Structure 1
Amino acid sequence: MQCEVQKESTENEEVLEAGRAEEDRETEGVAEKAGGLLLISGEAGLGKTALLTHVRRVAGERDDCAVLFGRGSKSAERVPFTVVRQLLQPELAAMTQEARRELLGDWHDIAGPALGITPPVGPLADPQGVRDGLDWVITQLAFKGKPLVVIVDDAHWVDPESLTWLTSFAVRLTEMPLLIVLAYRPEELPDHTPGFKELVAGRVARPVELHALTPEAVAGLVREALGPGADDPFCREVWAVTGGNAYEAVELIAKARDRDMDPVEESAALLRELGAAARGKGLVARLEQLGSAVTRFAYAAAVLGTEIELTLAANLAGMGPTEAKQRADQLREARILTGDTTLEFVHPLIATAVYRAIPTGTRTAMHGQAAWLSADAGKGVAVSARHLLEVHPDADADVVGQLRAAAREHLAVGAPDAARRCLERALLEPPPEEDRAMLLYELGCAALLTSPKTTINHLRAALDLPDLGEDLRIDATFRLSQAYAHNSQLDEAARVVADQAKRIPAGPGRMRLQAAHYMWQGVQVEEEDAIGRSHRIAELARDLEGRDNAERTLLVLRAFDGTLRSENSLEVGEFIDRVLVDGKLPDGLGWTNAEWGFEIPSQIGIVCSYLDRLDEAGELFDQAVRAFEIAGWSGAHLAFAHDFRGLVLRRRGDLEEAEQALRKGLGLAHRLGPGLPIQWDGTCLLIDTLIARGKIDEAQEVAEANSFLPPYSPAIVLPDAACLAGRLLLARGKTKEAIEELEAAGRRLEERGRHNTLWAPWALDLAFAIKDEEPERARTLVSQAIQHAMRFGTDTAIGEALRLAAKVDAPRERPDRLSKAVAHLRKSPCRYELAAALVDHGVALRECGQQAEAVERLREGLELSERCGADGLVRTARAELVELGVEEEAIEEEAEPTG
């Protein structure tokens, strides 16, 4: 009744606007397959639920769309993916198992546990991977079945996992046959999902704001229910008593009708007392008048919250099924509960009032009972834990065990924040002293994916306790070092593993910590004792054969260090060969292995990239992408995989494909929040690729959008950030600023013995920048850089050093140097560098008057540049050929067969 009267009332403009918006969006959004978002905002009781009921009915009556509905609940706010399951389980339950598996595809094992349709396949699911899987499911439902209308009531009480997913999905609705309708109370927006606050406050969709009913609208409600004879003073008093609150007005009118009240001015004085019984203390008093048994059953229902099973409520209230059914009937008659075998409160305001009316001690005890009853009823530890979170700490080991079990389940479905809440509550119980260290360890692991700072605090506390076994102590230390590294505290990461390694007896565990120590030291930009550390790891790895993964890890670190130092590439490659088994990663050093982390296989791939072993590197990083996608790791791991895949493509000269991979990796990194270390690699590699493509303005845009400014990342990135900044400044014509940046980079790299001219070409770029003002110094820089490249010994390193060195040579000397560069780069798998050398050689030959040879070189360079996607080289080569008298039509004909 309320819904229909509100819709028809010309006085409630907000509801009319919402109705019109819904119908317009439904027609334009769903029927024409363009995504839409409708936000409905209003305080409690203003008609949001009634309006959504209307939306559900209108959409449900259509044959060309399907409706998914969910409702947030204060009582179930701490149960992960509650609303996700409300929305999607009915659709999935109607399918056969085969149809569900086909619908989910590769996401079956990743999103299935969160949906509650399949058990977890591992102990830890990546939250971002789960959200991506849910995106896939709802997208497939929308495109393969009927267009969808997704309706969520009380979004302010939706569990954080569901609300985070809904928010991320809602802001990306484009050209999808899907309408999302969210209703919420603006004064109760949750702090746990800041993205939702931004969504409703932003410009993605203007919320429809519901306000209190006007006196005229309330009069319409009164006369609709009590007859047209209701006089104006009576109607006005209904409005005054309820303040225009739609829910309270409807309840008051219903009570007046139940009492056969004559709707005239003489009856108006009775309305205030009657209205007080519809809310707060008045509602509780009315409930208590129904008797203690009815009140006890209502309390049980309030503790259980939503989707209240009659049998479970009866057990919690301490009564048999027959009596429980009678009490439920009485509560239905009183318009407090609705439903049959599954009950719910008529309105959230009633549920809140009843719950708050339960005496504190009674409420706590009932939550404790509800936890065990839920467990006995097979509801799962997640539901039980929701109740245990409300129980007062009492040093109960069973409660600790239940909360730890719930935390494990939460982690397995991709809800680490929920796991953290359970473990933090278990810590307050408190646990038995012998379990405290283990609990802290679990708490640190639970926060590893989402909060490095929290991980650090808990793991340090665990390590300070004596009850942590040696194996767990080693693992906790390694994970603590990872947390420090992910929090950009590389000094601490290296120090903590070094300190713990001294306390561990010799063996694989100690070697694991030593390897971690060298790894975190070796990736620091400002490492204080880089040369000393290089000598120590060289001595340690000299005789290692790679018999186990501890030895293999040290060999990888030795190879990575040798690459940065520009040591002999053949010797560096031998270290890598001792690690790989038949050219593949050994067992236990895979991409998703938790013992050693993904950093070790990443360093193998990076080293191979700089050793010109691009096929091996490409296969490794393709495997990384597949492994992370299969595991559902769609956060930092997958972002790194796409970045390093982009590195290989950049080295190969597939610049367009490299740009795509790097933009994808950077997009994934941005989803994790601003200022994270993962964003530095993606930003640097993308800028480097855009410079190679000749897209200098775009490179600068990427730099500005990603805060590519000093101070740069404390961890080594690819290529070196400061060197890249200098190269970008040179490309933009800012020579003075470039010189300052390159000189600072050079001092830092020289002090640490890092001379790789492919990773950090500062000396060659600086030589070019100062060649006119300081020619002698420029030649010295070039000579040293060539020596380093020769020592490294790959054709790419030597050829590229020679090519860049030629920029400093006198014009007559350039052709000879560039001819040698071309000769080396023809043997290299790096096609962009060869294309650049060919074009540079052609230009140098033209400047020396060797026109025929220049045309030959430029034509070859043009063809290869076009294949690489190096637009800047293409423009240069074309302009040079035109300068040499080759017509543009002839150039295009030459290029067309291979374009």
Structure 2
Amino acid sequence: MAEITGRSGRARRPMLERDTELSALDGMLTDLCGSGKEDGGVRTGGLIAFAGPAGMGKTALINEARRRAIARGCTVLLARGGEQEQEVAFHVVRQLVQPVFAAESPEEHRRILGTWYDIVAPAVGLVAADGDASPDPQGVRDGLDWVVTRFAVHFTPVVLILDDAHWADSESLAWLTAFAARAEELPILIIVGYRPDELPAGAGPLRRIAERSGSRPFELTPLTPAAVRRVVTHMVGEGADEAFCRECWAVTGGNPYEVVELSAKIRERDIKPQQANVSQLRELVMAIKDSGLIERLERLGTAAVRFAWAASVLGTEVSPTLAANVAGLGSVQAADVVDKLRDARILAPAVSSGNGNLRFFHPLVASAVYQAIPGALRVALHGQAAAAVVDAGHGATAAARHLLEMHPEHDDWVVQRLREAASEYFRAGAPDAARRCLARALREPPALQDRALVLFELGCSSLLSEPATTVNHLRAALEEEELDPELRETITYKLAQALAHADRMGEAAEVVAAEAQRATNARTRLRMQAEQFMWNAFRADEQESPARSRLLAKLADHLTGRGMAERYILGLRA
């Protein structure tokens, strides 16, 4: 945050010691916007990344990039990764595209998305698709490519900004890292900010994404003593002497966030910025970090602490009403607390939250507050948050990330919400997120009559990626005592399919053959026989093909094609 005012929301100030980064940014914006229609200017996109440790000024730089893009007439799509939202599939994607759709009707959504509507709409949060179909994740990414490409063409030039990319959900990150390779071919500039030391294990492509064409991410460096002096004199007065400013630089290491916060503390306590008072600076620096920040929060009173805890549990963009409900505060008391938290630089000023939601002054503050919540109380707050977001109509996926943090308590409400969330994730093409929800539901655990169904759904979530895991879950489901005959048939069918995916055709045929023998329903028996014929037909080691053909002919002679299973047998025979 190499901006004198940091995240305070005051009048914009010049960026300090970021000339190289801003020059590169301006060059790419010029390439993006072209030299003008009158002389046939060509628009070219690309990607620029700003990397650095916490507090180094990535967000201030990205905010300046956003301002400059808007000033040039660009369409800006903005998203931020959230420390508490990393498990929410497509959280970043939805932030990017939902504002574009917000002013449009459902009919217009269908027109914009065209033939991709059924595949992409659930992922971007427009609808909950009908049925249980789960699109291929690659298909969803292809659809998102098409949607954003269309945005780039219709709203050109487009600037797509992702701040705190190290906290982006894996589904969004997988799409963005693949799509970014096309940015140079489109009138779209992608701007990314992240902490290199906090990137998730699967974010290797993001590290390499800005290294094409000889470029590299811009690694933000600490401020020099001269820049720190400018910050201090601006915030506490021109009378700050050289030795005092030099010590401010020494105790903060030139970290822009800490420099700004230290200067605010100096001003708040009315400390004279002179050499005689340098001994107080180290104590002040401690007051703006973890334990000192929490002490500052606690001095605001119990209600402020509860509200801040609730807000940190709820995540990046926090509804004041929702935070008040989780904290157990009335609206008047909550409004008073919000003012106190803003004055204490724990919550960001109102002008920083244009949609009315609350945000913390800095991600470092949000992390410190969340980590300060006692463990048992944090779990309880997640439980209260889950109930609050469901009651507010935000849906099962919004509640799921809180339910994942709770301890198992044999609560059927939790199991059902997790199953609902998994179903929504399936339809959105996010099977990994669905698997997390169902695995947690299984640990709750579900009631005996629901256990087989949860095992079945969990098995289905890994069918394409981990068929061996699917086999284990489905076999376990078949061993459950309370198993509905129709569900048993469905599980058996899926188990044979999973075995076949793992190239275990013989086992697949044996599974359905065993079910055909034990079936008391004629339709089920016929369906299992059809499956047995099919999987045997694919076996390279099958020795009885002539006998199998005679048996199939004999079975088909008595069928009329009345149902699906009979038609399937006749088709195999043909």
Change (3 A) 1:201 1:442: farther
- Cα deviation code 1:714-743 (max 9, x no counterpart): xxxxxxxxxxxxxxxxxxxxxxxxxxxxxx
**Larger relative contact order (CA 8 Å, sep ≥ 6):** 2
1:462 correspondence with 2:477: yes
Check conservation: 1:308, 1:342, Cα contact below 8 A.
yes
Structure 1 residue 228: deviation in Å?
4.2
Change (3 A) 1:233 1:538: farther
One-letter identity of the residue aligned with 1:29: L
1:75 correspondence with 2:84: yes
* Distance across 2 between alignment mates of 1:34 and 1:510: 62
- Cα deviation code 1:341-382 (max 9, x no counterpart): 410111111101000101111111111111111111111111
* Distance across 2 between alignment mates of 1:200 and 1:266: 47
Match of 1:21 in 2: 24
Structure 1 residue 190: deviation in Å?
1.7
1:123 correspondence with 2:132: yes
1:443-842 equivalences under 5 Å are 443-505=458-520, 507-558=522-573, 575=574
Check conservation: 1:219, 1:235, Cα contact below 8 A.
yes
Match of 1:349 in 2: 364
Check conservation: 2:56, 2:222, Cα contact below 8 A.
yes
Match of 2:353 in 1: none
Secondary structure of the structure 1 residue equivalent to 2:518:
coil
Match of 2:411 in 1: 396
Change (3 A) 1:539 1:77: same
Match of 1:330 in 2: 340
Change (3 A) 1:550 1:99: closer
Change (3 A) 1:540 1:333: same
* Distance across 2 between alignment mates of 1:33 and 1:501: 64
Check conservation: 2:56, 2:255, Cα contact below 8 A.
yes
Q: 1:61 aligns with which of 62, 71, 83?
A: 71
1:3-42 equivalences under 5 Å are 3=3, 12=17, 15-31=18-34, 32-42=42-52
* Distance across 1 between alignment mates of 2:208 and 2:537: 40
Check conservation: 1:37, 1:205, Cα contact below 8 A.
no
Check conservation: 1:441, 1:459, Cα contact below 8 A.
yes
Match of 1:219 in 2: 229
* Distance across 1 between alignment mates of 2:195 and 2:280: 31
- Cα deviation code 1:140-175 (max 9, x no counterpart): 111012311000111111122222221221123342
Secondary structure of the structure 2 residue equivalent to 1:173:
helix
* Distance across 1 between alignment mates of 2:415 and 2:49: 41
Secondary structure of the structure 1 residue equivalent to 2:406:
coil
User: How many correspondences in the alignment?
Assistant: 555
- Cα deviation code 1:653-678 (max 9, x no counterpart): xxxxxxxxxxxxxxxxxxxxxxxxxx
* Distance across 1 between alignment mates of 2:346 and 2:31: 39
- Cα deviation code 1:591-613 (max 9, x no counterpart): xxxxxxxxxxxxxxxxxxxxxxx
Check conservation: 2:47, 2:210, Cα contact below 8 A.
no
Check conservation: 2:48, 2:210, Cα contact below 8 A.
no
One-letter identity of the residue aligned with 1:281: S
* Distance across 2 between alignment mates of 1:239 and 1:495: 73
Check conservation: 2:32, 2:157, Cα contact below 8 A.
no
Structure 1 residue 264: deviation in Å?
2.1
Q: 1:385 aligns with which of 397, 400, 405?
A: 400
Q: 2:321 aligns with which of 311, 314, 338?
A: 311
* Distance across 2 between alignment mates of 1:136 and 1:514: 43
One-letter identity of the residue aligned with 1:249: V
Change (3 A) 1:457 1:17: farther
Change (3 A) 1:19 1:484: farther
- Cα deviation code 1:24-53 (max 9, x no counterpart): 222213533323112222111111111101
TM-score (norm 1): 0.59
One-letter identity of the residue aligned with 1:26: L
One-letter identity of the residue aligned with 1:79: V
- Cα deviation code 1:833-891 (max 9, x no counterpart): xxxxxxxxxxxxxxxxxxxxxxxxxxxxxxxxxxxxxxxxxxxxxxxxxxxxxxxxxxx
Check conservation: 2:516, 2:528, Cα contact below 8 A.
yes
Check conservation: 1:416, 1:450, Cα contact below 8 A.
no
Match of 2:96 in 1: 87
* Sequence identity percentage: 49
Secondary structure of the structure 2 residue equivalent to 1:344:
coil
Secondary structure of the structure 1 residue equivalent to 2:416:
helix
Secondary structure of the structure 1 residue equivalent to 2:76:
strand
Check conservation: 1:171, 1:204, Cα contact below 8 A.
no
- Cα deviation code 1:257-288 (max 9, x no counterpart): 22232222112111111111111111111111
TM-score (norm 2): 0.91
* Distance across 2 between alignment mates of 1:192 and 1:506: 48
Secondary structure of the structure 1 residue equivalent to 2:182:
coil
One-letter identity of the residue aligned with 2:19: L
Secondary structure of the structure 2 residue equivalent to 1:150:
strand
Structure 1 residue 528: deviation in Å?
4.5
1:432 correspondence with 2:442: no
1:856-875 equivalences under 5 Å are none
* Distance across 2 between alignment mates of 1:414 and 1:236: 54
1:143 correspondence with 2:153: yes
One-letter identity of the residue aligned with 1:122: G
Change (3 A) 1:378 1:29: same
1:164 correspondence with 2:167: no
* Distance across 2 between alignment mates of 1:420 and 1:528: 39
Change (3 A) 1:4 1:252: closer
Secondary structure of the structure 2 residue equivalent to 1:114:
coil
Change (3 A) 1:179 1:518: same
Change (3 A) 1:493 1:40: farther
* Distance across 1 between alignment mates of 2:521 and 2:321: 60
One-letter identity of the residue aligned with 2:365: I
* Distance across 2 between alignment mates of 1:506 and 1:318: 56
* Distance across 2 between alignment mates of 1:493 and 1:232: 79
Check conservation: 1:443, 1:458, Cα contact below 8 A.
yes
Change (3 A) 1:213 1:483: farther
Structure 1 residue 490: deviation in Å?
2.7
- Cα deviation code 1:564-611 (max 9, x no counterpart): xxxxxxxxxxx2xxxxxxxxxxxxxxxxxxxxxxxxxxxxxxxxxxxx
* Distance across 1 between alignment mates of 2:507 and 2:559: 28
**C-alpha RMSD over aligned residues:** 2.4
Q: 2:118 aligns with which of 109, 112, 118?
A: 109
Secondary structure of the structure 2 residue equivalent to 1:3:
coil
Structure 1 unmatched runs, 5+: 559-574, 576-899
Change (3 A) 1:173 1:373: same
Check conservation: 1:152, 1:181, Cα contact below 8 A.
yes
1:275 correspondence with 2:285: yes
* Distance across 2 between alignment mates of 1:216 and 1:520: 75
One-letter identity of the residue aligned with 1:271: L
* Distance across 2 between alignment mates of 1:369 and 1:283: 25
Structure 1 residue 129: deviation in Å?
2.8
Match of 1:362 in 2: 377
Structure 1 residue 457: deviation in Å?
2.1
Structure number with larger C-alpha Rg: 1
* Distance across 2 between alignment mates of 1:97 and 1:203: 41
Secondary structure of the structure 1 residue equivalent to 2:121:
helix
Structure 1 residue 426: deviation in Å?
0.8
